[in-house]
Structure 1
Amino acid sequence: MKAKFINLIIFVLVLIPTINAQKVIRNLGFEDLDVVGRLISWEIRNPNNTYQIKIDTTQSHTGKVSLLLQSSIPNAQKRGAANAFSLIKAPNLNQKSSIKITGFIKTEEIEDGTAFIGLQLNGAKGTLTEVNTENKNIRGNTPWTEYSIESPINSDVKSISFGVQITGKGKAWFDDFNVTVDGVNLGENITLKDL
């Protein structure tokens, strides 16, 4: 009896990772952090080390937190840009026609630049398409506002990157992203079979 119970436990422990192997937390509201406090499913880039990029517990559109990108030096010529992005591997887009990303942005005293959302479709040999909301000139002081970008997709797309960026002086908060493919909301737990 004890041997059967141990075998059952081993079977369950082996099966659980297999069941969840395709589950990927997208962390679209920036609420999920790993054990050392880093964002799950987002990569941060701050090449000139001229921005503070952190989870802010004092501002959020919904939930408890948002992602804050804030300039940390006054010199615009040395500032550059900072961004955070998430990647979706998308091998099964043969019958799909479009992807839409929406997200909320709040700004404070942005000047000499802008805050925006971007979307990049990648193929086997590199970038196929890039679109963003930079032309919206999101600057100055703005309340939480929803922005969206959309792009056609085809079978050449192998992965999709989307994210946020700030240039210039000031602060920008980002929260509550949404990803839809052909109008279907993929939600927080996007799996390869969803695409």
Structure 2
Amino acid sequence: MTGVANGGSAAFLVAPWHLALVCGVAVERLAELLVSVRHARWARARGGVERGRRHYRVMVVVHAGLLAGAVVETGLCDRPFVPALGWPALAVTAVAQVLRWWCVRSLGPCWNTRVIVVPGLALSTRGPYRWLRHPNYLVVAVEGIALPLVHSAWLTALAFTVVNAAVLTVRLRVENAALELAR
């Protein structure tokens, strides 16, 4: 939904359903953080050591930027809802949420948003970890494209993809090194 305000100047309007979608994903992310805090306590109580603290803040800002960008670009740039793009992107966004929680559930208390590895624990081969070493990062990358494209926010999808790739380059290096040290 877009509109024109008094005197012909463009107004910042976002479709209420689109705002609700992005807010819903934000709430899901907050729930994820609550689970992460509980799991991080579990890991630390068992001798887990955190690695890569410096990049964590950047990762949080990038993920928050995805959510904000999906709304701001839609409103500022008057992005339309294009059904041929929006409906498939919405379906992919919904599937991404399910897959993310499958990753969380598969790792159990070993999963958290930080890199905390408990020494001596074997790498998980449950759920999607049977096929991929880091399936959650794939899910995040796919969601980072799909969520903005629900309402044609292609600049946000592109920017998130590029910046997230840079963050993941660091994250994967840190996480893989931490997993090797824990063996």
- Tell me whether the two structures share a fold, i.e. TM-score over 0.5: no
Higher RCO, Cα 8 Å, sep 6+: 2
TM-score scaled by structure 1?
0.25
The structure that has the greater radius of gyration is 1
Between Structure 1 and Structure 2, the one with more helix by share is 2
Between structures 1 and 2, the one with greater strand share:
1
Q: TM-score, normalised by structure 2?
A: 0.26
